C-alpha cells in the first residue's frame, strides 16, 4: 500500500455525542476563508473566520466566504470565536458571520482585536458582540473545553497558536507560523510548544502554505538590511509597495526612511488604517512629524521622500496601479523615481504585477522586485524545515495539515511521514469532512459531511450571489447580450411591426447587420404564429428565447443572453389600467 492510500485510512461510520468532532468550513484545499470548528456534544468553538479573495473567473465578486448554515443551525452551541491573528483570511469574514450567527464573545490578540473593532465599525456593527483581548497567558474554560495559547511568529504582530483540551484528547492548532531565529517582533514560544509536545498532543493542525519550499525561510531582518541599503543609495524619490497587513515590514521601511532623513507619505486606505492602529499600539514607532500628507509631496525635494503604498499585487484600483496608469490623484511617476516591490506575486497575480512593472518602467521609474540579488521579501509561513521542526517539537500522535491547497496539504503530509508520523495517522481532508476524536484516537467519518459551499459577496450584500448570477456574468463576458424589442397591441393580440434587435458584446455591429436582420425576421414569423391565438407576455418571451437561442448558436456557435422587451400599444395599456381600477 502506498502513502496516498494510507492517508485517511482510519475511518469510522458514525460518531457519538461524546466524541470530539474537528472540521473546517474553509481553509482546506484553498488559500483563504480559514474557519475551523471543534465540537463536543452541545459546545462548539470556532478558530478564525476569514475571507478568500476571488480569482479572475469570479466576475464582479469582492470576497468569498464559507457557507455558515451549520453554524446558523447550531448557534446556541457556540462558546466563542478564537482568532489567531489579524490577517483578512482569518478575520475578514467576521462581519458576515455576525450578520447571520449570534456570537457573544470573540477572543483575539491585541492587534487583531483593534483590526476587528475597526472592521465592525466600518460595517456599522460596533457592539454586536464582545471582543475580548487574549495573550499567551490567557485561558478559556467551558464544560468541554480548556484552551491555552502560545506565541508564534508571523508577518503581523500578536499571533497565537492554540492548545485545546477536550474530553477525548489534546488538539493543537499552530495558526499561520514561521520560525524566525532573529524576528522583528516577538519570538515563537519554543519552550511552551516543546513542553506541550512532551505533555502529549493527540492531534496537530498545522499551516501548510509553504510546504513545497525547501529549507528555512529568510529572516525579516535580512529584508530590513536590503531595504536600508537601497534607501541609502537611492538619490530620487522612493516608492515602496507591500502588503498593508505586513506590519513588521512596514516598521522596517519607516525606520529606514527616518534614518535616511526622508519624510514618509502613506498612500492607500488599508495602509493608512493599519499604520494608524499599529502606531497606537506601539508596533510602529514614529513621530507625527515623520509623516506628511500627500498634498504636500511637491513641497519637498525628491531625495527627502519615501512613499509607502498598497498595490504590490497589481490590484487595478490600488495606489501603485493608479500611479502606473497616471490616474493617481496626488502622485505622477517621474523619471528618477525608484519603485520597490517588497513582496512576491501571489499565484495568479503574476501577469497583473508584470503589467504594473512595465507601465512604471515606461514612465521612467527604476523598478526593483524581489530576487536572489536583493532580499526584499520573506514569507510569513513556515518552509519545509520549519514544518519539520514544529512536528519534532510537538510530536503529535495524529496530524492534519491545514491552510493550503490540496498539493500543499499533501506535501505537508509527506513531510510529516519523514519525521516519523505514521502515514495511517495522517488525514488530508477537505472542507466539510469530519474527523472524530474518541479516547485519544482519531478517525475520519466516512458517512457524514457538513455543507461547505462557497458564498460570493458582491459589494455589501452579505446574502451571497446566486450561482445563476455568476453564470450570467460569465455568459455576458464570453458571449455578450442580445435585446429583442417587440411592439404589440394586446387588444387585438397582434404584433405591430417587425422586432428590433440590439446586441452588445455579441457580434461586431457592421459585420453582424445581415445576421440581425435575418434574426428579426425569424422572431417575427415565430411570434405571428403564436399570436394567432390569445397569448400571454410570458409565452411571447419564451418564444423569443426558444427561437433565437438555437438560431444564434447555429450561426455563431455562441450563446448570448437574450432579453425580450415587450412594448404594448398605449391604448391597450390604458384599457388594462382601466380594467384594473374597475375591479
Q: Can you tell me the distance from the alpha carbon of 238 to that of 403, in angstroms, rounded to the nearest whole number?
A: 35
In a domain? residue 477:
yes
Q: Can you tell me the distance from the alpha carbon of 42 to that of 472, in angstroms, rounded to the nearest whole number?
A: 42
Pair (288, 320) in one structural domain = yes
Cell of 374: 536583493
Contact 504, 490 (CB under 8 A): no
What are the E-state strand segments in 114-202?
130-134, 139-141, 146-152, 159-166, 169-173
Q: Can you tell me the distance from the alpha carbon of 443 to that of 452, in angstroms, rounded to the nearest whole number?
A: 20
Pair (238, 277) in one structural domain = yes
Cell of 151: 506565541
Q: Can you tell me the distance from the alpha carbon of 129 to that of 150, in angstroms, rounded to the nearest whole number?
A: 24
Contact 499, 563 (CB under 8 A): no
Q: Can you tell me the distance from the alpha carbon of 238 to that of 250, in angstroms, rounded to the nearest whole number?
A: 14
Q: Can you tell me the distance from the alpha carbon of 339 to that of 337, in angstroms, rounded to the nearest whole number?
A: 6
In a domain? residue 374:
no
Pair (226, 345) in one structural domain = yes
Q: Can you tell me the distance from the alpha carbon of 21 to that of 46, in angstroms, rounded to the nearest whole number?
A: 12
Q: Can you tell me the distance from the alpha carbon of 164 to that of 145, in angstroms, rounded to the nearest whole number?
A: 7
Q: Can you tell me the distance from the alpha carbon of 249 to that of 463, in angstroms, rounded to the nearest whole number?
A: 36
Q: Can you tell me the distance from the alpha carbon of 288 to that of 279, in angstroms, rounded to the nearest whole number?
A: 10
Domain limits for position 472: 467-582
Pair (363, 425) in one structural domain = no
What is the total count of domains within the chain?
3
Pair (77, 204) in one structural domain = yes
Q: Would you tell me the crossing angle of helices 220-233 and 247-259 to the nearest 10 degrees?
A: 30
In a domain? residue 373:
no
Pair (227, 335) in one structural domain = yes
Residue 424: CB atoms within 10 A of its CB come to: 15
Burial of 336 per CB tally in 10 Å (0-12, 13-18, 19+): middle
Pair (278, 157) in one structural domain = no
In a domain? residue 375:
no
Residue 150 backbone dihedrals phi, psi, to 5 degrees = -140, 150
pTM of full prediction above 0.85? no
Pair (397, 321) in one structural domain = no
Pair (196, 226) in one structural domain = no
In a domain? residue 286:
yes
What is the CATH number for 97?
A: 3.60.15.10
Burial of 1 per CB tally in 10 Å (0-12, 13-18, 19+): exposed
Pair (243, 364) in one structural domain = yes
Catalytic residue IDs: 207, 381
In a domain? residue 40:
yes
Q: Can you tell me the distance from the alpha carbon of 108 to that of 117, in angstroms, rounded to the nearest whole number?
A: 11
Looking only at Cα atoms, what is the longest distance across the chain? Answer: 88
Of 319, 343, 368, the one marking the end of a domain is 368
Pair (461, 472) in one structural domain = no
According to DSSP, the residues that pair with 8 across neighbouring strands are none
According to DSSP, the residues that pair with 481 across neighbouring strands are 504, 561
Local confidence pLDDT in tens for the 583 residues of the chain: 455 568 999 999 999 999 999 999 999 999 999 999 999 999 999 999 999 987 666 666 778 899 999 999 999 999 999 999 999 999 999 999 999 999 999 999 999 999 999 999 999 999 889 999 999 999 999 999 999 999 999 999 999 999 999 999 999 999 999 999 988 888 999 999 999 999 899 999 999 999 999 999 888 888 888 889 999 999 999 999 999 889 999 999 999 999 999 999 999 888 999 999 999 999 999 999 999 999 999 999 999 999 999 988 888 888 999 999 999 999 999 999 999 998 887 766 788 889 999 999 999 999 998 876 677 888 899 999 999 999 999 999 999 999 999 999 999 999 999 999 999 999 999 999 999 999 999 999 998 999 898 888 876 565 665 556 666 777 777 788 888 888 888 878 888 888 888 888 887 656 567 888 888 898 888 888 888 888 888 888 888 889 888 888 888 888 888 889 888 876 655 655 655 555 4
Of 346, 368, 390, the one marking the end of a domain is 368
In a domain? residue 235:
yes
Of 431, 447, 465, the one marking the end of a domain is 465
Pair (57, 187) in one structural domain = yes
Please give the DSSP secondary-structure letter assigned to residue 19: S
What are the E-state strand segments in 410-549?
433-438, 441-449, 454-458, 461-465, 481-489, 494-495, 500-504
Burial of 295 per CB tally in 10 Å (0-12, 13-18, 19+): exposed
What is the CATH number for 330?
A: 3.40.50.10710
Cell of 136: 499567551
What is the CATH number for 551?
A: 3.10.20.580
Contact 522, 555 (CB under 8 A): no
Amino acid at each position: 500500500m502506498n502513502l496516498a492510500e494510507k492517508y485517511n485510512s482510519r475511518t469510522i461510520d458514525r460518531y457519538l455525542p461524546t466524541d470530539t468532532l474537528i472540521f473546517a468550513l474553509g481553509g482546506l484545499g484553498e488559500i483563504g476563508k480559514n474557519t475551523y470548528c471543534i465540537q463536543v456534544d452541545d459546545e462548539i468553538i470556532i478558530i478564525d473566520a476569514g475571507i478568500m479573495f476571488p480569482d479572475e473567473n469570479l466576475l464582479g465578486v469582492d470576497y468569498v466566504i464559507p457557507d455558515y448554515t451549520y453554524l446558523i443551525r447550531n448557534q446556541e452551541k457556540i462558546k466563542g470565536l478564537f482568532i489567531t491573528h489579524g490577517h483578512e483570511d482569518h478575520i475578514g469574514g467576521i462581519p458576515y458571520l455576525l450578520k447571520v450567527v449570534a456570537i457573544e464573545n470573540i477572543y483575539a490578540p491585541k492587534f487583531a482585536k483593534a483590526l476587528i473593532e475597526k472592521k465592525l465599525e466600518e460595517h456599522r456593527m460596533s457592539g454586536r458582540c464582545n471582543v475580548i483581548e487574549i495573550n499567551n497567558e490567557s485561558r478559556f474554560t467551558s464544560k468541554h473545553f480548556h484552551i491555552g495559547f502560545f506565541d508564534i511568529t508571523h508577518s503581523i504582530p500578536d499571533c497565537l497558536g492554540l492548545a485545546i483540551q477536550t474530553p477525548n484528547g489534546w488538539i493543537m492548532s499552530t495558526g499561520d507560523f514561521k520560525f524566525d531565529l532573529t524576528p522583528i517582533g516577538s519570538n515563537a514560544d519554543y519552550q511552551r510548544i516543546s513542553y506541550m509536545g512532551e505533555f502529549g498532543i493527540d492531534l496537530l493542525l498545522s499551516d501548510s502554505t509553504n510546504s513545497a519550499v525547501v529549507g528555512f525561510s529568510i529572516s525579516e531582518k535580512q529584508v530590513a538590511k536590503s531595504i536600508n541599503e537601497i534607501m541609502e543609495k537611492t538619490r530620487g524619490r522612493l516608492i515602496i509597495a507591500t502588503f498593508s497587513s505586513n506590519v513588521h515590514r512596514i516598521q522596517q521601511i519607516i525606520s529606514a526612511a527616518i534614518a535616511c532623513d526622508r519624510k514618509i507619505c502613506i498612500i492607500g486606505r488599508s495602509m493608512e488604517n493599519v499604520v494608524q492602529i499599529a502606531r497606537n499600539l506601539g508596533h510602529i514607532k514614529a513621530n507625527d512629524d515623520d509623516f506628511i500628507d500627500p498634498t504636500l509631496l511637491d513641497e519637498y525635494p525628491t531625495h527627502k521622500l519615501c512613499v509607502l503604498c498598497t498595490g504590490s499585487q497589481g490590484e487595478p484600483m490600488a495606489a501603485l496601479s493608479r500611479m502606473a496608469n497616471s490616474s493617481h490623484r496626488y502622485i505622477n511617476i517621474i523619471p528618477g523615481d525608484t519603485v520597490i516591490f517588497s513582496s512576491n506575486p501571489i499565484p495568479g497575480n503574476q501577469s497583473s504585477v508584470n503589467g504594473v512593472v512595465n507601465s512604471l518602467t515606461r514612465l521612467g521609474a527604476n523598478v526593483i522586485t524581489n530576487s536572489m540579488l536583493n532580499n526584499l521579501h520573506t514569507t510569513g509561513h513556515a518552509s519545509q524545515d520549519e514544518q519539520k521542526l514544529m512536528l519534532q517539537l510537538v510530536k503529535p500522535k495524529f496530524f492534519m495539515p491545514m491552510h493550503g491547497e490540496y498539493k500543499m496539504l499533501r506535501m505537508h503530509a509527506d513531510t510529516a511521514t519523514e519525521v516519523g508520523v505514521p502515514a495511517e495517522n495522517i488525514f488530508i481532508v477537505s472542507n466539510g469532512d469530519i474527523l472524530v476524536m474518541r479516547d485519544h484516537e482519531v478517525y475520519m467519518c466516512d458517512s457524514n459531511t457538513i455543507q461547505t459551499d462557497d458564498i460570493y459577496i458582491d459589494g455589501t450584500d452579505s446574502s451571497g450571489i446566486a450561482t445563476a448570477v455568476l453564470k450570467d456574468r460569465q455568459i455576458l463576458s464570453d458571449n455578450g447580450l442580445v435585446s429583442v424589442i417587440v411592439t404589440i397591441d394586446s387588444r387585438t393580440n397582434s404584433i405591430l411591426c417587425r422586432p428590433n434587435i440590439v446586441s452588445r458584446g455579441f457580434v461586431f455591429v457592421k459585420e453582424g447587420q445581415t445576421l440581425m436582420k435575418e434574426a428579426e425576421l425569424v422572431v417575427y414569423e415565430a411570434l405571428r404564429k403564436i399570436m394567432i391565438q390569445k397569448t400571454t407576455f410570458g409565452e411571447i418571451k419564451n418564444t423569443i428565447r426558444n427561437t433565437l437561442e438555437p438560431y444564434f448558436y447555429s450561426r455563431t456557435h455562441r450563446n448570448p443572453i437574450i432579453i425580450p422587451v415587450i412594448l404594448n400599444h398605449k391604448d391597450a395599456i390604458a384599457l388594462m389600467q382601466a380594467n384594473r381600477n374597475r375591479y
